[in-house]
Amino acid sequence: MGSCLSISLSCDDIVSRCWDSVFERVRYVRNLQENLQALSTSLQELKALKDDVQRKVELAERQPGLKRLKQVNNWILRAEALETEINEVIISHSTQEIEKLCCGGYCSKNCRSSYKYGKKVARKLVEVEALKSKGVFEEVVAESLPTALVDVIPSEPTVGMEPIFDQVWSHVEDEQVGMIGLYGMGGVGKTTLLTQIHNNFNRTRNDFNLVIWIVVSKGHKIEVIQDKIGEKIGLSSGEWKHKEQREKAKDIFGILNTKKFVLLMDDLWEPVELTEVGVPAPDSRNKFKIVFTTRSEEVCGQMDAQKKIKVGCLTWEKAWNLFQEKVGKETLLLHPDIPEHAEIVAKECGGLPLALITVGRVMACKKTPQEWKHAVQVLRRVASEFSGMGDKVFPLLKFSYDNLPSQKVRSCFLYCALFPEDFVILKDDLVYFWMCEEDILDEYGNVEEAKNESYHIIGTLLASCLLEDEGDSVKMHDVIRDMALWLAWKEGENILVDTGAYHAPHVAKWWNAKRVSLMGSGIKSLDETPRSPNLLTLFLRGRFLKRIVDDFFDFMPTLRVLDLSENNFITQLPTGVANLVSLQHLNLSKTGIKRLPVELAACARLKHLNLEYTYDLDYVPPNILSNFPRLKVLRILYCGSSNRVFFYNEKTMIDELQGLKHLDVLSLTVGDTSCFLNLDSHHILVTCTLTLCLMGENPSSYLDLSDVAMANMKYLDTLLIKRTVDVYSTSITRLENPNCFLGLQFVVVVNCTNLKNLEWLVFAPNLIHLEVYGCSKMTRILGLDTTETTPFAKLTVLRLSALPQLWRICENPLPVPFLKEIHISGCPVLTRLPLNSSSAQTSNLIIEGQEEWWNGLEWEDQEARKAFLPCFRPF
């Protein structure tokens, strides 16, 4: 079976449809050239539109949290695909197809081919026009959440720095803190810490929407900082970079002021003027944050940092962990002796992460104990020769040295390298050394001016983290000291430092030396005569030196500073001191010296003479001081018996002192009231900074501190009262001149058996240090009523010991904002401290005492006890 399909069309329909088909084909061929031209023009317009949209998208996407809309992205992709398609399929064949046309473009040599090509061109023209009409967008981007707030920066892990990281992050989260400065010596890990802070914005929930990281570095320019910030916030076009600084600042401010931003700046050497850059200042309202790193505490102050956080070296435990990590357990376990040597090597790095990492990586391939022993020797003798120290560690640290403000400050820094490793250097010792050195501070007319300048220099070195503060002393980090010695060698300073020697350096090494330090060495005798025509400084401080050959000083004509202190076995000076015609500083303190040679009189340029704690000194040539007319500092505290042996009798002492017209600093011991009264008539009490020890010669000694004796003591700095049965001070409470103790800062009272109080201390408003020991009848320190005065307002240290009847320090609580240490022992009836809730604002206070005594203390209220409980340290 089958079926039949019947189609019926009229003749007119067939003719009409055939005609339309023929006409359409002719139209595609006839319009081919015109359509190709239109397609080319329209395609160029589409490309321009696509580029504009693409540029707008990229500019917007540079702002954190913004991402292009899907419809915009799809349109760009379609435009790119259509452009490729038209170029490859149509435009590339246009010449060939046009050559097929004939009869003025109305016909073709290959009608079928030209028809298909013309139809394709016409359709692509329609597609291009349609796509162009869709390429107008009101918004090209939108918030894209969640997205990473920052791009993670690779970095070393912050080994051992977790506590300081937590401290910094707590300030980042504190809305009241806007500016945070991290400072510390080079190589300590500041950049690593800042990197971890940067990366942590991705790991924690926060409401910041813009985090900017830039490296500032030394010698920065405002325009460079602006360009770096501009790149982070979408202002990076060539046209914008050519704008003036003020215009850039306006643009940056306009964007940042609308964001809750964090600006992280690494490696500041000078303060950055944020207003000139265009960065809005952070405050408690806008919640902006700025965190920066620097090697200088001074920069933290200049940047108005609300929190200044020092990034210090690692503790030993954390340093050892870091070192082991870099060396590797495999190496450390190769031989049972290696771990012991490894600890010594690690300790030579002083907890400095950069040194620990550098040295640890070098030692990772050292597989024998002998190699580790050699490493110890090199690090201790010439650290710059250790692989990585001279070419990686020291050059990085040197930037801090180069950034010091003057050659004078740099010289003072290098001077500190003369002291042994871990040596605690008294700040005042540096003052007295530097004021006698020709290329440092010898131009100052008096000690006060030299001291002010010295403390300014020390402060600069502390702020630059090239020295470490120890209160009245400073220390130099071991690696910094090694760097300083390396610098001195590179800069031709010609210093000879061998603080670990057991034998004197060969005389040939002394020839060109400018400064020599054998301080703390094990040298027992100096038997050769060096020739040192340029020597300025000689440090021989130590404990083992017993003998110096008589002609040792014969060829040191320029020597200015000689320190022989603490050599208890030295009982006499060589006669060759007569050749030290340039000597200005002589320190014989704590030596076993018994007699001063008459040849010392030849040192007529002497400015500083220290004979303190020379208990065995029993002979000084008559009128010796008159040979030192330039003497500015004379220290004879505990020197034999200053008023009896040293000057034969008290009248001779007064006469000797009378001739020292330029004396600025004096320390001495006197043993009875008559000598004290004779001193009172002398100008030294009016002009000299005075350290005075009033010490009884026998158990029945007494001193009368009358208003006559004390009236002119406005420059009395330190007062020591020892071994006196009584100190008659009844009239002191009614002093006619209440300003007589304005300069008094240190008071020590020891074994004054009948002394009941120190009520005259109310007239010492600048007192910072008070110690009282062994006064068996003392019941209180100050008087009953202190409401009319504010004693102890500047006190930092209070030490009371072996005072069995002391029941009160004073009656009323005192404001003690600077108090750092209270030490109480052997004071069983002292049941109340002069502290209350108001005093609790004192920061970093430590109270030391027996736990039983502490538990028995009475407090104004429980709040006061609770406030001071964390301060207590039992012993």
- The pLDDT score that the predictor gives to residue 730 is 40
Domain assignment of residue 371, yes or no: yes
Same domain for 174 and 302, yes or no, is yes
**Whole-number percent of the chain with pLDDT over 70:** 84
Distance between CA atoms of residues 767 and 144, nearest Å:
64
Give the per-residue SS3 of 764-810. Answer: CCCCCEEEEECCCCCCECCCCCCCCCCCCCCCCEEEEECCCCCCECC
Q: Measured between alpha carbons, how far is residue 759 from residues 781, 824, 853 in Å? A: 6, 19, 25
- The pLDDT score that the predictor gives to residue 14 is 43
Distance between CA atoms of residues 465 and 293, nearest Å:
13
- Helix (H) / strand (E) containing 449: helix 447-463
Domain assignment of residue 110, yes or no: yes
Distance between CA atoms of residues 111 and 119, nearest Å:
12
Relative to beta strand 473-475, strand 425-426 is antiparallel
Same domain for 166 and 306, yes or no, is yes
Same domain for 51 and 122, yes or no, is yes
Confidence category of residue 842, pLDDT binned at 50, 70, 90: low
- The pLDDT score that the predictor gives to residue 788 is 61
Collapsing DSSP to helix, strand or coil, 666 comes out as: strand
Same domain for 79 and 183, yes or no, is no
778, 754 in Cβ contact below 8 A? no
User: Would you give the end-to-end CA distance of the chain in angstroms?
Assistant: 122
Q: Measured between alpha carbons, how far is residue 780 from residues 23, 157, 188, 759, 821 in Å? A: 125, 56, 49, 8, 19
Confidence category of residue 372, pLDDT binned at 50, 70, 90: very high
Confidence category of residue 320, pLDDT binned at 50, 70, 90: very high
Relative to beta strand 726-728, strand 716-722 is unpaired
Same domain for 395 and 374, yes or no, is no
Considering only CA atoms, which of 136, 141, 121 is closest in space to residue 57? 141
CATH number of residue 454's parent domain: 1.10.10.10
In DSSP terms, which residues pair with 749 in a beta bridge? 721, 772
For the ranges 35-49, 115-129, 296-310, the maximum mean pLDDT occurs at: 296-310
State the chain's mean pLDDT as an integer. Answer: 84
- The pLDDT score that the predictor gives to residue 235 is 83
Collapsing DSSP to helix, strand or coil, 79 comes out as: helix
Q: Which two tokens stand for residue 413?
A: 């820094």
Q: Give the domain range for residue 426.
A: 391-493
Distance between CA atoms of residues 73 and 50, nearest Å:
11
Distance between CA atoms of residues 763 and 707, nearest Å:
12
Q: Does the pLDDT at position 8 exceed 80? A: no
Same domain for 293 and 322, yes or no, is no
Average pLDDT of 216-225? 87
- Helix (H) / strand (E) containing 652: helix 650-658
pLDDT 10s digits, 454-490:
999 999 999 999 999 998 999 999 999 999 999 999 8
Confidence category of residue 34, pLDDT binned at 50, 70, 90: confident
Same domain for 377 and 428, yes or no, is no
660, 634 in Cβ contact below 8 A? yes
Q: Does the pLDDT at position 18 exceed 50? A: no
Q: Does the pLDDT at position 141 exceed 80? A: no
Confidence category of residue 188, pLDDT binned at 50, 70, 90: very high
Collapsing DSSP to helix, strand or coil, 523 comes out as: coil
pLDDT 10s digits, 572-630:
999 899 999 999 999 999 999 998 999 999 999 999 999 999 988 888 887 888 899 99
Distance between CA atoms of residues 799 and 746, nearest Å:
12
Q: Does the pLDDT at position 732 exceed 70? A: no
Q: Does the pLDDT at position 711 exceed 50? A: yes
pLDDT 10s digits, 118-137:
777 788 888 888 888 888 88
More confident site: 62 or 636:
636
Domain assignment of residue 614, yes or no: no
Residue with the two structure tokens 């321009």: 48
- The pLDDT score that the predictor gives to residue 588 is 97
In DSSP terms, which residues pair with 609 in a beta bridge? 586, 634
Neighbours of 473 (CB within 10 A): 16
Domain assignment of residue 787, yes or no: no
CA atoms within 13 A on the CB side of 56: 18
Average pLDDT of 646-674? 73
Collapsing DSSP to helix, strand or coil, 498 comes out as: coil
834, 812 in Cβ contact below 8 A? yes
- The pLDDT score that the predictor gives to residue 860 is 82
- The pLDDT score that the predictor gives to residue 7 is 44
Distance between CA atoms of residues 452 and 366, nearest Å:
50
Domain assignment of residue 344, yes or no: yes
CA atoms within 13 A on the CB side of 178: 14
pLDDT 10s digits, 59-78:
877 776 677 888 888 888 88
**Domain final residue, candidates 363, 381, 399:** 381
- CA 799 remoteness from chain centre: 31
**Out of 26-35, 202-211, 644-653, least confident range:** 644-653
pLDDT 10s digits, 799-812:
999 999 999 998 88
Relative to beta strand 797-801, strand 821-825 is parallel
Same domain for 168 and 243, yes or no, is yes
Domain assignment of residue 754, yes or no: no
280, 287 in Cβ contact below 8 A? no
**Domain final residue, candidates 476, 493, 510:** 493
Number of helices and strands (H, E) in the chain? Answer: 28, 32
Same domain for 274 and 325, yes or no, is no
CATH number of residue 238's parent domain: 3.40.50.300
Cα torsion through 436, 437, 443, 447, rounded to 10: -30
Same domain for 377 and 417, yes or no, is no
Domain assignment of residue 788, yes or no: no
Average pLDDT of 154-174? 86
**Domain final residue, candidates 339, 359, 381:** 381
Number of domains in the chain: 4
Same domain for 303 and 341, yes or no, is no
In DSSP terms, which residues pair with 292 in a beta bridge? 181, 265
Domain assignment of residue 583, yes or no: no
Same domain for 397 and 367, yes or no, is no
The total number of residues shown for the chain amounts to 875
